[in-house]
Amino acid sequence: MHDLLTPTTGNQNFIDPVHPEIETYLLSLAEQTDHPVLLQMESYARQNGFPIVGRLVGIFLEAQARMINARRVFEFGSGYGYSAYWFARAVGEGGQVICADGNPQNQEPARQYLTNVNLWERIDFQIGFAQDIFMQTKGDFDICYNDADKGGYPDIWLMSKSRIRPGGLYIADNVLWHGRVVLAPGSFVDVKPGWTEAIREHNHLIFNDPEFDAFINPTRDGVIVARRKMA
């Protein structure tokens, strides 16, 4: 899946963390995860220029969730349910993925696609500002997953970290931001002013938090996984 977030800045300095031929090879290995509905969801992204995490990150999200027996996941920025597809598979029957998205037009495609794979009953899809929905939602989570607007990344980390159970995970997508995180300030045009700085601050906060162990998987645009240490 090509990154659909790559901006139209004309700046050619962006760095693809994964060489395209390696990505093609990885995708060829992942073909066993093909499902007609998943293929439809990926086609929808291509047709609409919608920035989903893509197949390789999706597989990674499901594996992470299964490894910690996640049953309750909160998503900041769910789009039309592509990343939730993978989490919903992992949480199993009776598990729950709370989806939060600010665009009401995403809810109906999410409902249709995830109903067609019998996963909708595991989804609580809420429309609104994800940070507000999170604060209004009670309880702790096995995973807090952040794929919202990048300017909000530090705040989302700070509000999430205390509500992840020991052994649970904070995961965020786009933490390499197409290589902008290593470019000198002023040498590129950001998607929105301040987003690269926000991502850099976010990553710094996480790696310097003594309560978490962190790692960045450089697949696609970089996925950070931070595990809350056991007490």
Interacting residue ranges for ligand SAM, rule: CB under 6 A:
51-53, 77-79, 82-83, 100-103, 106, 129-131, 147-149, 152
Count of H helices and E strands in the chain? 8, 7
Cα separation, 135 vs 98, in Å, equals 12
First to last CA, the chain: 39
Query: Strand, coil or helix: what is 100?
Result: strand
Q: How far is the CB of 44 from ligand SAM (least distance, A)?
A: 10
Q: How far is the CB of 101 from ligand SAM (least distance, A)?
A: 5
- Kindly tell me which of 54 and 186 has the beta carbon lying closer to ligand SAM: 54
- Kindly tell me which of 152 and 168 has the beta carbon lying closer to ligand SAM: 152
Contact 226, 156 (CB under 8 A): no
- Kindly tell me which of 14 and 129 has the beta carbon lying closer to ligand SAM: 129
Q: How far is the CB of 131 from ligand SAM (least distance, A)?
A: 6
Beta strand extents in the chain (DSSP E only) = 72-76, 96-101, 123-127, 141-146, 164-173, 212-217, 223-228
Q: How far is the CB of 184 from ligand SAM (least distance, A)?
A: 26
Nearest of 84, 23, 82, 34 to residue 56 by alpha carbon: 23
- Kindly tell me which of 52 and 216 has the beta carbon lying closer to ligand SAM: 52
Contact 117, 36 (CB under 8 A): no
- Kindly tell me which of 87 and 212 has the beta carbon lying closer to ligand SAM: 87
Q: How far is the CB of 231 from ligand SAM (least distance, A)?
A: 30
Q: Kindly report the number of other CB atoms within 10 A of residue 204's CB atom.
A: 11
Among all chains, which residue has been given the structure tokens 């450089």? 218
- Kindly tell me which of 149 and 208 has the beta carbon lying closer to ligand SAM: 149
Cα separation, 73 vs 95, in Å, equals 9
Q: How far is the CB of 229 from ligand SAM (least distance, A)?
A: 26
- Kindly tell me which of 3 and 209 has the beta carbon lying closer to ligand SAM: 3
Q: How far is the CB of 57 from ligand SAM (least distance, A)?
A: 8
Residue nearest to ligand SAM (CB): 77
Nearest of 176, 220, 178 to residue 22 by alpha carbon: 220
